[in-house]
Amino acid sequence: MALEIPKVSYSGKIREIVLGKGDKAITVGGGTSYPFYLFEGQMPLKPRIAMEVYDSPPDDWAPTALEPFADVAGDPVAWAKKCIDTYGAEMIALQLVSTDPNGENRSAEEAAALTKKVAEAVDVPLIVWGCNNAEKDTEVLKKIAEDCAGRSLMIGPVTEANYKQVGAVAIGYEHTVIASTPIDINLAKQLNILLGNLGVPDGRILIDPTTGALGYGLEYGYSVMERIRMAALTQEDERLQFPMVCNLGKEVWKTKEAKQSRDEAPKLGDPAKRGVLMEAITAQLVLAAGADILIMRHPESIALIQDMLNDLLAA
Protein backbone atom coordinates (compact mmCIF):
# COMPACT_ATOMS: atom_id res chain seq x y z
CA MET A 1 0.00 0.00 0.00
CA ALA A 2 1.70 3.21 -1.10
CA LEU A 3 0.62 6.45 0.46
CA GLU A 4 0.61 9.57 -1.61
CA ILE A 5 1.52 12.33 0.80
CA PRO A 6 -0.97 15.19 0.57
CA LYS A 7 1.28 18.21 0.21
CA VAL A 8 0.57 21.86 0.82
CA SER A 9 1.49 24.02 -2.12
CA TYR A 10 3.27 27.06 -0.83
CA SER A 11 3.33 30.19 -2.93
CA GLY A 12 5.35 32.43 -0.64
CA LYS A 13 8.82 32.51 0.84
CA ILE A 14 10.26 34.06 3.98
CA ARG A 15 12.57 36.94 3.15
CA GLU A 16 16.27 36.36 3.68
CA ILE A 17 17.71 38.92 6.07
CA VAL A 18 21.40 39.47 6.69
CA LEU A 19 22.27 40.10 10.32
CA GLY A 20 25.46 41.89 11.30
CA LYS A 21 28.37 42.36 8.92
CA GLY A 22 31.75 40.94 8.05
CA ASP A 23 32.90 37.34 8.41
CA LYS A 24 30.48 36.54 11.19
CA ALA A 25 27.37 37.93 9.50
CA ILE A 26 24.46 35.53 9.51
CA THR A 27 21.55 35.16 7.13
CA VAL A 28 18.18 33.99 8.42
CA GLY A 29 14.83 33.29 6.76
CA GLY A 30 14.43 31.76 3.32
CA GLY A 31 11.87 29.15 4.38
CA THR A 32 9.39 27.89 1.79
CA SER A 33 7.32 25.55 3.98
CA TYR A 34 5.96 25.34 7.52
CA PRO A 35 8.84 25.00 9.97
CA PHE A 36 10.79 21.75 9.51
CA TYR A 37 8.28 20.31 6.97
CA LEU A 38 11.18 19.38 4.76
CA PHE A 39 9.17 16.74 2.92
CA GLU A 40 7.39 19.50 1.05
CA GLY A 41 9.63 22.57 1.12
CA GLN A 42 12.94 24.05 2.15
CA MET A 43 14.41 25.63 5.17
CA PRO A 44 17.80 26.52 3.73
CA LEU A 45 18.91 28.72 6.64
CA LYS A 46 18.72 27.35 10.12
CA PRO A 47 17.14 29.33 12.94
CA ARG A 48 19.75 31.09 15.07
CA ILE A 49 20.19 31.67 18.75
CA ALA A 50 21.36 34.90 20.35
CA MET A 51 22.72 34.65 23.89
CA GLU A 52 21.54 37.22 26.39
CA VAL A 53 23.87 39.73 28.01
CA TYR A 54 22.53 42.16 30.62
CA ASP A 55 23.62 45.72 31.11
CA SER A 56 23.53 45.47 34.89
CA PRO A 57 24.22 42.61 37.29
CA PRO A 58 21.12 40.43 37.69
CA ASP A 59 19.76 40.44 41.23
CA ASP A 60 16.95 37.89 41.20
CA TRP A 61 18.09 35.11 38.89
CA ALA A 62 17.69 31.43 39.59
CA PRO A 63 21.06 30.08 40.77
CA THR A 64 21.13 27.73 37.76
CA ALA A 65 20.81 30.60 35.34
CA LEU A 66 23.35 32.79 37.09
CA GLU A 67 25.99 30.14 37.68
CA PRO A 68 27.47 30.09 34.13
CA PHE A 69 27.85 33.88 34.18
CA ALA A 70 28.62 34.52 37.85
CA ASP A 71 32.19 35.60 37.04
CA VAL A 72 31.14 38.13 34.37
CA ALA A 73 27.76 39.33 35.64
CA GLY A 74 28.90 42.91 36.33
CA ASP A 75 30.79 43.34 33.07
CA PRO A 76 28.73 43.17 29.87
CA VAL A 77 31.80 43.12 27.62
CA ALA A 78 33.33 40.18 29.45
CA TRP A 79 29.91 38.53 29.56
CA ALA A 80 29.48 38.82 25.80
CA LYS A 81 32.97 37.48 25.21
CA LYS A 82 32.35 34.54 27.51
CA CYS A 83 29.17 33.70 25.57
CA ILE A 84 31.18 33.61 22.36
CA ASP A 85 34.44 32.06 23.55
CA THR A 86 33.09 29.55 26.07
CA TYR A 87 29.62 28.78 24.80
CA GLY A 88 30.06 29.37 21.09
CA ALA A 89 27.35 32.04 20.79
CA GLU A 90 26.60 32.86 17.18
CA MET A 91 24.84 36.09 18.16
CA ILE A 92 24.55 38.31 21.23
CA ALA A 93 21.46 40.08 22.55
CA LEU A 94 22.19 43.01 24.83
CA GLN A 95 19.21 43.52 27.15
CA LEU A 96 19.14 47.12 28.30
CA VAL A 97 16.99 46.60 31.37
CA SER A 98 18.74 49.24 33.42
CA THR A 99 17.36 52.02 31.22
CA ASP A 100 13.86 51.36 32.62
CA PRO A 101 12.47 54.59 34.15
CA ASN A 102 10.74 52.43 36.77
CA GLY A 103 14.06 50.88 37.67
CA GLU A 104 17.61 52.21 37.53
CA ASN A 105 16.67 54.68 34.78
CA ARG A 106 20.13 54.86 33.23
CA SER A 107 20.51 57.49 30.55
CA ALA A 108 20.53 57.03 26.79
CA GLU A 109 24.14 58.22 26.76
CA GLU A 110 25.23 55.52 29.20
CA ALA A 111 23.34 52.87 27.27
CA ALA A 112 24.88 54.00 24.00
CA ALA A 113 28.38 54.06 25.44
CA LEU A 114 27.95 50.54 26.76
CA THR A 115 26.45 49.26 23.52
CA LYS A 116 29.36 50.71 21.61
CA LYS A 117 31.86 48.98 23.86
CA VAL A 118 30.10 45.65 23.44
CA ALA A 119 29.76 46.14 19.68
CA GLU A 120 33.47 46.84 19.40
CA ALA A 121 34.38 43.82 21.48
CA VAL A 122 32.38 41.23 19.53
CA ASP A 123 32.32 40.32 15.87
CA VAL A 124 29.06 38.34 15.88
CA PRO A 125 25.71 40.04 15.08
CA LEU A 126 24.41 42.12 17.98
CA ILE A 127 20.79 42.59 18.99
CA VAL A 128 20.05 45.53 21.26
CA TRP A 129 16.80 45.32 23.21
CA GLY A 130 15.33 48.24 25.16
CA CYS A 131 13.32 48.23 28.36
CA ASN A 132 9.85 48.07 26.75
CA ASN A 133 8.99 51.63 27.67
CA ALA A 134 8.25 53.19 24.29
CA GLU A 135 9.27 56.71 25.27
CA LYS A 136 12.55 55.75 26.89
CA ASP A 137 13.33 53.20 24.19
CA THR A 138 12.92 55.89 21.55
CA GLU A 139 15.54 58.03 23.22
CA VAL A 140 17.88 55.13 23.95
CA LEU A 141 17.63 53.40 20.59
CA LYS A 142 18.06 56.68 18.69
CA LYS A 143 21.24 57.46 20.53
CA ILE A 144 22.55 53.92 20.05
CA ALA A 145 21.73 53.94 16.34
CA GLU A 146 23.66 57.16 15.95
CA ASP A 147 26.67 56.24 18.06
CA CYS A 148 26.95 52.80 16.47
CA ALA A 149 26.42 54.04 12.92
CA GLY A 150 27.21 51.45 10.26
CA ARG A 151 27.48 48.52 12.69
CA SER A 152 24.33 46.86 11.42
CA LEU A 153 22.75 46.27 14.81
CA MET A 154 19.31 44.75 15.26
CA ILE A 155 17.41 47.24 17.43
CA GLY A 156 14.12 46.88 19.19
CA PRO A 157 11.47 46.73 20.34
CA VAL A 158 10.23 49.16 17.69
CA THR A 159 6.53 49.70 18.27
CA GLU A 160 3.65 51.62 16.80
CA ALA A 161 4.42 54.34 19.32
CA ASN A 162 8.02 54.96 18.26
CA TYR A 163 8.49 53.46 14.82
CA LYS A 164 8.85 56.84 13.13
CA GLN A 165 11.72 58.08 15.25
CA VAL A 166 13.52 54.77 15.60
CA GLY A 167 12.75 53.75 12.01
CA ALA A 168 14.25 57.00 10.72
CA VAL A 169 17.56 56.53 12.53
CA ALA A 170 17.69 52.89 11.54
CA ILE A 171 17.45 53.94 7.89
CA GLY A 172 20.03 56.69 8.31
CA TYR A 173 22.58 54.66 10.28
CA GLU A 174 22.00 51.31 8.62
CA HIS A 175 20.50 49.15 11.33
CA THR A 176 17.78 46.49 11.24
CA VAL A 177 14.55 47.11 13.13
CA ILE A 178 12.73 44.58 15.28
CA ALA A 179 9.08 45.42 14.73
CA SER A 180 7.24 44.53 17.90
CA THR A 181 3.49 44.13 18.29
CA PRO A 182 1.36 42.65 21.08
CA ILE A 183 0.35 39.15 19.89
CA ASP A 184 -1.78 40.25 16.95
CA ILE A 185 -1.30 39.34 13.30
CA ASN A 186 -3.07 42.44 12.00
CA LEU A 187 -1.02 44.80 14.12
CA ALA A 188 2.14 42.98 13.03
CA LYS A 189 1.25 43.47 9.40
CA GLN A 190 0.23 47.07 9.95
CA LEU A 191 3.53 47.97 11.60
CA ASN A 192 5.47 46.39 8.75
CA ILE A 193 3.45 48.44 6.28
CA LEU A 194 4.15 51.59 8.25
CA LEU A 195 7.88 50.82 8.39
CA GLY A 196 7.87 50.21 4.64
CA ASN A 197 6.09 53.51 4.02
CA LEU A 198 8.64 55.24 6.17
CA GLY A 199 11.38 53.90 3.92
CA VAL A 200 12.88 51.11 6.02
CA PRO A 201 14.19 48.66 3.39
CA ASP A 202 12.57 45.20 3.41
CA GLY A 203 15.97 43.67 4.01
CA ARG A 204 16.08 45.31 7.41
CA ILE A 205 12.87 44.30 9.14
CA LEU A 206 12.34 41.49 11.64
CA ILE A 207 9.05 40.63 13.37
CA ASP A 208 8.73 40.32 17.15
CA PRO A 209 5.28 38.79 17.61
CA THR A 210 5.65 38.92 21.45
CA THR A 211 6.47 35.70 23.21
CA GLY A 212 5.07 34.34 26.46
CA ALA A 213 6.74 31.65 28.56
CA LEU A 214 5.63 28.06 28.82
CA GLY A 215 2.63 28.04 31.16
CA TYR A 216 2.34 31.82 30.94
CA GLY A 217 0.52 32.53 27.74
CA LEU A 218 2.87 30.75 25.34
CA GLU A 219 -0.11 29.59 23.31
CA TYR A 220 -1.19 33.09 22.30
CA GLY A 221 2.09 33.95 20.64
CA TYR A 222 2.35 30.41 19.28
CA SER A 223 -0.90 30.71 17.37
CA VAL A 224 -0.17 34.22 16.12
CA MET A 225 3.15 32.95 14.78
CA GLU A 226 1.46 30.03 13.05
CA ARG A 227 -1.02 32.42 11.48
CA ILE A 228 1.75 34.77 10.36
CA ARG A 229 3.58 31.87 8.71
CA MET A 230 0.41 30.64 7.08
CA ALA A 231 -0.35 34.10 5.65
CA ALA A 232 3.25 34.55 4.50
CA LEU A 233 3.61 31.19 2.80
CA THR A 234 0.18 30.24 1.52
CA GLN A 235 -1.53 33.61 1.05
CA GLU A 236 1.51 35.49 -0.21
CA ASP A 237 1.04 38.20 2.36
CA GLU A 238 4.30 39.91 1.57
CA ARG A 239 4.17 42.28 4.58
CA LEU A 240 4.36 39.22 6.82
CA GLN A 241 7.19 37.46 4.98
CA PHE A 242 9.83 38.55 7.46
CA PRO A 243 11.79 36.35 9.87
CA MET A 244 10.49 36.25 13.45
CA VAL A 245 12.44 36.93 16.67
CA CYS A 246 11.40 35.50 20.04
CA ASN A 247 12.86 37.14 23.14
CA LEU A 248 12.02 34.18 25.33
CA GLY A 249 14.86 33.70 27.84
CA LYS A 250 13.82 36.56 30.07
CA GLU A 251 10.17 35.52 29.96
CA VAL A 252 10.85 31.94 31.03
CA TRP A 253 13.40 32.68 33.72
CA LYS A 254 11.21 35.22 35.47
CA THR A 255 8.44 32.68 36.09
CA LYS A 256 7.95 31.28 39.51
CA GLU A 257 8.59 27.68 38.51
CA ALA A 258 11.87 28.46 36.77
CA LYS A 259 13.18 30.00 39.99
CA GLN A 260 11.81 27.82 42.78
CA SER A 261 14.25 25.76 44.81
CA ARG A 262 13.75 22.12 45.68
CA ASP A 263 12.48 23.11 49.13
CA GLU A 264 9.97 25.55 47.73
CA ALA A 265 8.65 23.12 45.13
CA PRO A 266 9.49 19.52 46.04
CA LYS A 267 7.14 18.11 43.40
CA LEU A 268 8.90 19.90 40.57
CA GLY A 269 12.03 17.79 40.60
CA ASP A 270 15.58 19.02 40.05
CA PRO A 271 15.45 22.86 39.89
CA ALA A 272 18.40 23.09 37.51
CA LYS A 273 16.97 20.64 34.99
CA ARG A 274 13.49 22.12 35.37
CA GLY A 275 14.61 25.65 34.48
CA VAL A 276 16.64 24.44 31.51
CA LEU A 277 13.74 22.34 30.24
CA MET A 278 11.23 25.15 30.65
CA GLU A 279 13.42 27.42 28.56
CA ALA A 280 14.22 24.75 25.96
CA ILE A 281 10.59 23.65 25.59
CA THR A 282 9.45 27.24 25.14
CA ALA A 283 12.12 27.56 22.45
CA GLN A 284 11.17 24.27 20.81
CA LEU A 285 7.52 25.26 20.61
CA VAL A 286 8.14 28.71 19.13
CA LEU A 287 10.51 27.10 16.63
CA ALA A 288 7.67 24.78 15.62
CA ALA A 289 5.49 27.86 15.17
CA GLY A 290 8.02 29.65 12.95
CA ALA A 291 10.74 31.43 14.95
CA ASP A 292 13.93 32.29 13.05
CA ILE A 293 15.85 33.94 15.88
CA LEU A 294 15.70 32.94 19.54
CA ILE A 295 17.05 35.04 22.38
CA MET A 296 18.00 32.60 25.13
CA ARG A 297 19.80 32.51 28.44
CA HIS A 298 21.10 29.14 29.62
CA PRO A 299 23.98 27.44 27.78
CA GLU A 300 22.41 24.02 28.40
CA SER A 301 19.02 24.93 26.96
CA ILE A 302 20.81 26.41 23.98
CA ALA A 303 22.87 23.25 23.47
CA LEU A 304 19.71 21.14 23.59
CA ILE A 305 18.00 23.32 21.00
CA GLN A 306 21.06 23.24 18.73
CA ASP A 307 20.96 19.46 18.95
CA MET A 308 17.25 19.41 18.05
CA LEU A 309 17.84 21.82 15.16
CA ASN A 310 20.56 19.59 13.78
CA ASP A 311 18.22 16.60 13.94
CA LEU A 312 15.25 18.40 12.44
CA LEU A 313 17.29 19.88 9.61
CA ALA A 314 19.46 16.82 8.91
CA ALA A 315 19.89 16.12 5.21
Partner 1 sequence: MALSGIEIFKKLPKKNCGECGVPTCLAFAMKLATGQAELVACPYVSDDVRAAIDEASAPPIRTLTIGAGDRAVKLGGETVMFRHEKRLENPPGLALVLSDTMDDSVVNEKLSKFKYLEFERVGLILRPQMLALKEESGDAGKFAAFVKRVIDQMDAAIILMSDRPEVISEALKVSKDKKPLIYAATNDTAEAMGSLAKESACPLAVKGSGLDEVMAITDKLLGMGLKDLVIDSQPVNVKKALEDQVVIRRSALVKKVKQLGFSTITFPGQLTDNKMKETLIASLLIAKYAGVIVLSEMEGHNVFPLLLASLNIYTDPQRPMAVEEKVYEIGGPREDSPVLITSNFSLTYFIVSGEVESSRIPAWLLIKDTEGLSVLTAWAAGKFAADTVAVFIKKCGIADRVKHRKLVIPGYLAGMSGELEEELPDWQILVGPREAAHLSAYLKQWSA
Q: What residue ranges bind partner 1 (CB under 8 A)?
A: 1-6, 36-39, 60, 102-103, 212, 214-220, 222-223, 226-227, 230, 254-257, 259, 265-271, 273-274, 276-278, 280-281, 284-285, 288-289, 300, 304-305, 307-308, 311-314
- Amino acid (1-letter code) at residue 290: G
Nearest approach, Cβ of residue 206 and partner 1 (Å) = 22
Nearest approach, Cβ of residue 36 and partner 1 (Å) = 6
Closer to partner 1 by Cβ: residue 1 or 150: 1
Nearest approach, Cβ of residue 286 and partner 1 (Å) = 10
Q: What are phi and psi for residue 177, nearest 5 degrees?
A: -100, 145
Nearest approach, Cβ of residue 302 and partner 1 (Å) = 12
Nearest approach, Cβ of residue 46 and partner 1 (Å) = 13
Bridge pairing between strands 205-208 and 176-180: parallel
Kindly tell me the number of DSSP H helices and DSSP E strands found in the chain: 11, 10
Closer to partner 1 by Cβ: residue 132 or 168: 132
User: Are the CB atoms for 118 and 75 separated by under 8 Å?
Assistant: no
Angle formed at CA 302 by CA 313 and CA 224, multiple of 5 degrees: 70
| Nearest partner of 29 among 173, 232, 190, judged by Cα | 232
- Amino acid (1-letter code) at residue 44: P
Nearest approach, Cβ of residue 5 and partner 1 (Å) = 5
Closer to partner 1 by Cβ: residue 126 or 278: 278
Q: Could you give the CA distance from residue 157 to residue 159 in angstroms, rounded to a whole number?
A: 6
**CB neighbours of 53 closer than 8 A, spacing ≥ 6?**
76, 79, 80, 83, 92, 93, 94, 95, 118
Q: What are phi and psi for residue 52, nearest 5 degrees?
A: -70, 140
Taking the CB of residue 186, how many other CB atoms lie within 10 A of it? 10
Report in angstroms the alpha-carbon separations of 206 from 135, 202, 291. 21, 9, 11
Nearest approach, Cβ of residue 211 and partner 1 (Å) = 12
User: Are the CB atoms for 206 and 246 separated by under 8 Å?
Assistant: no
Closer to partner 1 by Cβ: residue 72 or 213: 213
Closer to partner 1 by Cβ: residue 150 or 266: 266
134-147 and 163-173 are packed helices; what angle lies between their axes, rounded to 10 degrees?
Answer: 10
Closer to partner 1 by Cβ: residue 37 or 87: 37
Closer to partner 1 by Cβ: residue 17 or 287: 287
Closer to partner 1 by Cβ: residue 171 or 268: 268
* DSSP annotation of 241: -
Nearest approach, Cβ of residue 8 and partner 1 (Å) = 8
Q: Could you give the CA distance from residue 132 to residue 99 in angstroms, rounded to a whole number?
A: 10
